[in-house]
Amino acid sequence: MPPVFRPNPSENHSTHKITRMVCVFSLQSFLGMLYHNENDSDGIQQVLTALHQYVSYYGDGDNRVYSSQGLVADQLSVERGVNALFELPNGFTPEEHLEGLHLEIADWHAGNKFLKV
Model pLDDT for residues 17-72, shown as the tens digit of each residue: 767 776 777 777 766 778 888 888 889 999 999 999 989 999 887 788 999 999 98
Residue 101 predicted with pLDDT over 80: yes
Residues forming beta bridges with residue 73, ordered by sequence position: 105
What region, left, alpha or beta, does residue 83 occupy, with left being phi > 0 and alpha being psi -120 to 50 degrees? alpha
Residue scoring higher pLDDT (88 or 15): 88
Separation CA 89–CA 45 (nearest Å):
13
Cα distances (Å, whole numbers) of residue 67 to 2, 9, 35, 113: 20, 31, 26, 34
Domain residue spans of the chain: 19-116
